[in-house]
Structure 1
Amino acid sequence: ATTTSRRTKKALEQLIAELPCPECGGARLRAEARSVYIGEKTICEAVQMTVGEAVAFFGGLTFAESHEKIAQPILREINGRLAFLDQVGLGYLTLDRSADTLSGGELQRVRLASGLGSGLVGVCYILDEPSIGLHPRDNQRLIDAMRELQRRGNSVLVVEHDEAVMREADWLIDLGPGAGEAGGRIVAQGTIEQVMQVDDSPTGRYLAGKTTIAVPEKRRRIAKSRSLTIEGVTTNNLKDVTVMFPLQALVCVTGVSGAGKSSLVGETLVRAVRRRLTGGGPKPGPHRGLRGLSKIDKLVEIDQSPIGRSPRSNPATYTGVFDEIRKVFAGTRDAKRLGFTAARFSFNSKGGRCETCQGQGRQKIEMNFLPDLYVVCSACDGRRFNEQTLQVRYRDRSIADVLDMSIDEAAEFFENFAAVKRVLDALREVGLGYLRLGQPSNTLSGGEAQRVKLANELSRVDTGKTLYVLDEPTTGLHFDDFFKLLDVLNRLVDRGNTVIVVEHHLDVLKTADWIIDLGPEGGREGGYVVAEGRPEDIARLEDNHTGRFLRSMLPLS
Structure 2
Amino acid sequence: MQQNIVIKKARQHNLKNIDLILPRNKIIVITGPSGSGKSSLAMDTIFAEAHRRYLQSLPIELRTIFDQLQKPDVDFIEGLSPGISVDQKTISKSPRSTVGTITEIYDYLRLLYAKIGIPYCPRCGRRLISQDINKMLDFILSLTEGTKIQILAPVVIEKKGEHKEIFDRAKAEGFIRARIDGNIVELTQEFSLKKHVRHTIELIVDRIIVKEKYKNQIKRALELAMKYTQTVVVNIVNENRDIIFSSVLACPNCGISLPDIDPRLFSFNSKYGACPRCKGLGYENIEEEEEIDVLSLIPCKLCEGTRLREESLAIKINGKNIAELSTFSIDELKNFLYGLKFSSYNAPIAERILKEIFIKIDFLQKIGVGYLSLNRPSFSLSGGEAQRIRLATQLGSHLSGVLYVLDEPSIGLHPRDCLKLIESMKELSIRGNTLIVVEHDESTIMNADLVVELGPGGGRDGGYLTGVYPPDKLLKSRNSITAQYLTGSSKISIPEERRKSQKFIKIIGAQAYNLKNINVEIPLGVFVCVTGVAGSGKSTLIFEILYKALVKKLYNANVYPGNYKAIEGIEQIDKVVCVDQSPIGRTSRSTPATYTQVMTEIRELFSLLPDARVRGYSKSRFSFNLLGGRCESCQGDGIKKIKMHLLPDVYVVCDNCKGKRYNEETLQIKYKGKNISEVLQMTVSEALEFFSAVPKLNQKLQIMEDIGLGYITLGQPATTLSGGEAQRVKLAKELSKKPTGKTLYILDEPTTGLHMVDIERLLNILQRLVDMGNTVIVIEHDLEIIKCADYIIDLGPEGGSSGGYLIAKGTPEEVALNPNSYTGKFLKEKLGL
TM range (shorter): over 0.9
The alpha-carbon deviation at position 71 of structure 1 amounts to 2.1
Q: Does 2:699 correspond to 1:422? A: yes
Q: Aligned partners of 1:281 and 1:217: how far apart in 2?
A: 43
The partner residue of 2:827 within 538, 550, 554 is 550
519, 522, 526: which one aligns with 1:249: 526
- 1:176 aligns with 455
Distance change >3 Å, CA 480–CA 386, structure 1 → 2: same
Q: How far does residue 248 in structure 1 lie from its aligned partner after superposition?
A: 0.8
SS at match of 1:66: coil
Alignment of 1:285-304 (within 5 A): 285-304=562-581
Q: 1:206 to 1:414 in 2, by over 3 A?
A: same
Correspondence 1:79 to 2:358: yes
Corresponding residue for 2:667?
A: 390
- 1:380 maps onto 2:660 in alignment: no
Summarize the alignment of residues 93-132 of structure 1 with structure 2, pairs less than 5 Å apart. Answer: 93-132=372-411
What one-letter code is carried by the residue in structure 1 that aligns with 2:433?
N
- Give the conservation status (yes or no) of the 8 Å contact 1:177–1:200: no
> 1:38 is matched with which residue?
317
Q: Is residue 477 of structure 1 aligned with residue 757 of structure 2?
A: no
Give the C-alpha shift of residue 17 in structure 1: 3.6
CA offsets 1:284-307 (integer angstroms, 9 cap, x no match): 222222211222111111111111
Residues 329-382 of structure 1, C-alpha deviation per residue, up to 9 Å, x if partnerless? 122232223222221111121000011222122345689999998654333232
Aligned with 1:21 (options 301, 308, 319): 301
Aligned length: 545
Q: Do 1:358 and 1:384's aligned partners in 2 also have CA atoms closer than 8 Å? A: yes
Shift of 1:31: 3.0
Contact 2:630/2:662 (8 A) holds in 1:
yes
Taking the aligned partners of 1:283 and 1:372, their CA distance within structure 2 comes to 44
Alpha-carbon contact 2:295-2:548 (below 8 Å) kept: no
The residue that corresponds to 1:451 in the other structure is 728
**In the alignment, is residue 357 of structure 1 matched against residue 634 of structure 2?**
yes
Aligned partner letter, 1:494: D
Instruction: Give the secondary structure class of the aligned counterpart of 2:508.
Output: strand
- CA distance in 2 between partners of 1:344 and 1:116 (Å): 54
CA RMSD of aligned residues (A): 2.3
Tell me, yes or no, if the aligned pair for 2:807 and 2:820 is still in contact at 8 Å: no
Show the counterpart of 1:267. Answer: 544
In the aligned structure 2, how far is the partner of 1:541 from the partner of 1:257? 19
What TM-score, normalized to structure 1? 0.93
Instruction: Kindly indicate whether the alpha-carbon contact (under 8 Å) linking 2:296 and 2:558 is maintained by their aligned counterparts in 1.
Output: no
Alignment check: 8 A CA contact 1:271 1:281 kept: no
Partner in structure 2 of residue 407 of structure 1: 684
| Contact map agreement 2:680 2:714 (CA 8 A) in 1 | yes
What is the distance in 2 between the residues matched to 1:343 and 1:229?
48
Closer, same or farther: CA 143–395 of 1 in aligned 2, 3 Å: same
Change over 3 Å in CA distance of 1:541–1:365 after alignment to 2? farther
User: Are 2:741 and 1:461 aligned?
Assistant: no
Query: TM-score normalized by structure 2?
Result: 0.63
Q: Give the 3 Å change call, closer, same or farther, for CA 142–70 of structure 1 in structure 2.
A: same
Q: 1:191 to 1:384 in 2, by over 3 A?
A: same
Query: Whole-Å Cα distance in 2 between the matches of residues 18 and 262 of structure 1?
Result: 19
Structure 1: give runs of 5+ residues left out of the alignment.
1-8
> In the alignment, which residue of structure 1 is the partner of 2:479?
200
CA distance in structure 1 between the partners assigned to 2:375 and 2:705 by the alignment: 42
Q: Larger C-alpha radius of gyration, 1 or 2?
A: 2
Residue in 2 aligned with 1:316? 593
Q: 1:373/1:102 Cα in 2 relative to 1: closer, same or farther (>3 Å)?
A: farther
Label 1:360 to 1:40 Cα distance change in 2 as closer, same or farther (>3 A): same
Structure 1 vs Structure 2: percent identity of aligned residues? 49
Q: Taking structure 1 as reference, are residues 327 and 92 closer, same or farther at Cα in structure 2, changes over 3 Å only? A: same
- Native 8 Å contact 1:59 1:79 kept in 2: no
CA distance in 1, matches of 2:541, 2:644: 41
In the alignment, which residue of structure 1 is the partner of 2:775?
498
CA distance in 2: counterparts of 1:514 and 1:273, whole angstroms: 21
Task: Tell me: CA distance 1:370–1:254, structure 2 relative to 1, closer, same or farther (3 Å).
Answer: farther
Match of 1:118, SS state, is coil
Q: Report what 1:66 is aligned to.
A: 345
The residue type paired with residue 165 of structure 1 is T
* Counterpart position of 2:84: none
User: What's the CA shift for 1:161?
Assistant: 0.8
Return the alpha-carbon distance in structure 2 between the equivalents of residues 544 and 371 of structure 1.
Answer: 52
3-state DSSP class of the match of 2:316?
coil
Structure 2 match to 1:284: 561
Which of the numbers 793, 796, 807 marks the counterpart of 1:519? Answer: 796
SS of the residue aligned with 2:540?
helix
Match of 1:150 in 2: 429
- Give the secondary structure class of the aligned counterpart of 1:252: strand
